[in-house]
Amino acid sequence: MKKKINYFYLVLIIIAGLILVSIISLSLGSVNLSPYEVVKIIFSKKDMNNSLNVIINQIRLPRIILGFLVGAGLSIAGVVFQGVIRNPMVDPYIVGISAGAGTGVTIAIVLNLQFSFLFFSTIPLTAFVGALITVYIVYNLAKTNGKVPVVTFLLAGVAVGFVLNALMSFFMVIGTRDLQKIIYWLLGSLSTASWHDIKLMIPYFLIGNVMIIFFLKDLNLILLGETHAQHLGVDVEKTKKYLIVGASLITASVVSVSGSIGFIGLIVPHIARLLVGPDHKKLYPTAAILGGMFLIISDNLARILLAPMEIPVGIITALTGGPYFIYLLRKTKKEIW
Amino acid sequence: MLKLKGIDFSYGEQQILHQIDFHLRENEFIGIIGPNGSGKSTLLKNISKLLDPDQGFIYLDKDLLNNYSYKDLAKKMAVVPQDSEINFNFTVYDLVMMGRNPYQDRWGRVREKDRKKVDEALQLTDTEKFKDKSIQNLSGGERQRVIIARAIVQEPELLLLDEPTASLDINYQRNIFDLISNLNNKLDMSVLAVSHDLNLISQYCDKLILINQGYIHTIGKVDEVITKENISEVYKTNVDIKYNPITERPYVIIIPHSKNIQRRKKNSFIVHLICGGGTGKDIMSILNDLNIRVSCGVLNRGDTDWAEAKRLNFEVVEIPPFAPIDNKAVQKNEKKISDADLIIVSNTPFGWGNLDNIRVLANFKDKDILFITTPEIEERDFTEGEITALFHKIKKNNNVFETNDNKELCSFINNRYGKTLYD
């Protein structure tokens, strides 16, 4: 990179951007408010105006926070998987997480299952469990002699993903009356966001992040190649295990509340890498903030463009992010990875 | 420092290493050589804990290798791998700093000592000038120096290198090995280096281990290992051993055996060589490599050329040491000359003692005769001009040729007799 922006200023700028985007997002919607009013409502203890308070604090604020968590989570998981597997084509869903979650949800919808467990309602629960079971299977399939070779891991994920996608299609064909519901879930959306959702996902999200943060430095060394990393004192297998499990937990928690929103986990890590380089200690926060911000903006577009109808946000992320990324790719050519 | 006892290793069914035993003492520089696929890199991977041996023990100092955590091991042993291609945009400085990893905490906080060590290593490896450059923008040789700098900041007692100069040009080869040698001598690092470049490693290391098909074939001082017999046997190729006049270390020269040479009609072409005092040694070696039948004469027993001719099983017309050439020998020599297709006269000095070797040539007006004429005959004439006169007289004959050195000799033979030699 020729012009390297000072990392500190860059983080300040994107945090400022995030706050700005959040406030603007809070003011947008069927009831239009000025950003000033938004800030006033959030920081006033008493109910100024009951209905406005509900709109902001119960509807828009959780949606934005969830949007941030989902966007950040997918970007973080993308950064980690791309780093561990050392492959730029990898996204958080590569190891079959979205297929696993999708299969769980499809089965639940088609069989019209209704149950809840520890405050989980049916769909988030089946998605979360489906995702984790899939990762567990893929991880163990890839395991040979106590090691998990990343290429085997990748291939096992792709293979299991194909099987699950076929299963999912099968259930969709059987349960045609639920097709729209399933497809809507698969495309990903934040339309059902609530404080409840946030409470559901946040423990796993946090555990996953803690696991990752502990191994960020080692992930840098793994980028050089696993043998290099080991020669420099990294317990490579242990590190990979924690990183994969951490990223999977984050992805599963995110998928359970938002469906499989595509594109963010693949592209935001690359954009962040263009900005701050490959050092994960910088890449991790940058990608997280950028990803969160990107999803909040996309979700605004999803809400507003065809209002009152809502477009699944996965469509927006791909439609807006794709061309922008292609532009970046053309501009910087080979330096991207 | 490092001790291996009965190491066996297999990839699946295929056993790669058999009963490897050796001992690397403190501050020693040992080179591992062997043909492709002989198991040298696998051995190094066993020592660096990338692979676990099936059997046997590896001791690092007093402790078993397996008892070291990766972190502790990285403080004791640094590895420069064969393939150092790095696909990410790290700066040289950051990359070298990664060598401090075993000394840093989980968060990788950089301390003053870390910076100092990195600066020292950059200086030592002469990579300071591109410390802010991306590692991807460096050439292969520069990158390898950076990787060595990274190994240095690990402050290891043992440095393992796997083909550190593979695919580098000779300037970098020397550069890298000088650097390694320096680390060995000045920083007291023990060094274990795998190399397929026999000649390069032989100039630097204290000891060599020659590995063949997973067994240690020979282990010992360089000139005990680099012998014609060992190398020819293990590498299954025709080689000769010479000595580097400066380091006095042996080096291997390859003798090509092209299809042409094998198909040549054996012994149909005969060269008679007139030489003495060692001037014919290289010529004999060339002729022998070309599989040409050679006779020499007249030589005194004990002469360097006489010894070499005997070693190569050439026919020699010989006389006792320091004796002048007698009539019997002259006649014998004349017979050999008349049998030969070409007579080569080396640039040996001529005195009264060996004057007859040249005088006899005057009788063969149509024979092919080749003189090696550097240095000039006048400088080698110890007969007060007689030999020079004779020389110029013979030169007037039909088929007399001159060359300056042995290289020209080769091309002369190939050009003039190629057809006869290679059928």
Check whether A331 has a pLDDT greater than 80: no
DSSP letter, residue B134: B
With CB atoms and an 8 Å threshold, state whether A231 touches B104.
Answer: no
Over residues B185-206, the pLDDT tens digits come to 988 899 999 998 888 999 999 9
Averaged pLDDT score across all residues of chain B: 87
- In terms of average pLDDT, the best of A11-25, A104-118, A169-183, A310-324 is A11-25
- Tell me what pLDDT residue A116 has: 64
Tokens of residue B188, six digits: 């007291």
Residue range A220-229: mean pLDDT, rounded: 90
Residue range B100-116: mean pLDDT, rounded: 89
What confidence tier does A45 reach under pLDDT thresholds 50, 70, 90?
low
- Tell me the C-alpha distance between B78 and B159, whole Å: 5
Residue range B275-292: mean pLDDT, rounded: 86
Tokens of residue B67, six digits: 């008892």
Cβ(A335)–Cβ(A1) below 8 Å: yes
Query: Biggest alpha carbon distance in chain A?
Result: 64
Check whether A177 has a pLDDT greater than 80: no
- Tell me what pLDDT residue A53 has: 76
User: Looking at the partner chain, which of B89, B108, B154 has a beta carbon nearest the beta carbon of A335?
Assistant: B89
Angle of helix A236-258 relative to helix A97-110, nearest 10 degrees, comes to 40
Residue range B391-418: mean pLDDT, rounded: 83
Residue range B227-252: mean pLDDT, rounded: 85
Check whether B154 has a pLDDT greater than 60: yes
- Tell me what pLDDT residue B88 has: 80
Question: CA B43 → CA B38, B54, B66, B413, distances in Å?
Answer: 10, 12, 15, 47
What confidence tier does A3 reach under pLDDT thresholds 50, 70, 90?
very low
Chain A positions in Cβ-Cβ contact with residue B101 (cut-off 8 Å): 217, 221, 232-234
Check whether B114 has a pLDDT greater than 70: yes
B106 close contact with A: CB closer than 8 A: yes
* Least confident piece of the model among A11-20, B25-34, B408-417: B408-417
User: Looking at the partner chain, which of A233, A278, A281 has a beta carbon nearest the beta carbon of B102?
Assistant: A233
Check whether A67 has a pLDDT greater than 70: yes
- Tell me what pLDDT residue B263 has: 46
Check whether A107 has a pLDDT greater than 70: yes
With CB atoms and an 8 Å threshold, state whether B108 touches A279.
Answer: no
Count of A–B CB contacts within 8 Å? 68
Chain B positions in Cβ-Cβ contact with residue A86 (cut-off 8 Å): 87
Count the Cβ atoms, other than its own, within 10 Å of residue B105: 8
Residue range A28-36: mean pLDDT, rounded: 77
- Tell me what pLDDT residue B37 has: 87
Q: Nearest CA to B407 among B293, B282, B308, B274?
A: B282
Averaged pLDDT score across all residues of chain A: 84
Count of helix runs (H) and strand runs (E) in chain A: 15, 0
Calculate what percentage of chain A has a pLDDT beyond 90. Answer: 28
Print the SS3 string covering A150-211.
HHHHHHHHHHHHHHHHHHHHHHHHHCHHHHHHHHHHHHCCCCCCCHHHHHHHHHHHHHHHHH
What confidence tier does A2 reach under pLDDT thresholds 50, 70, 90?
very low
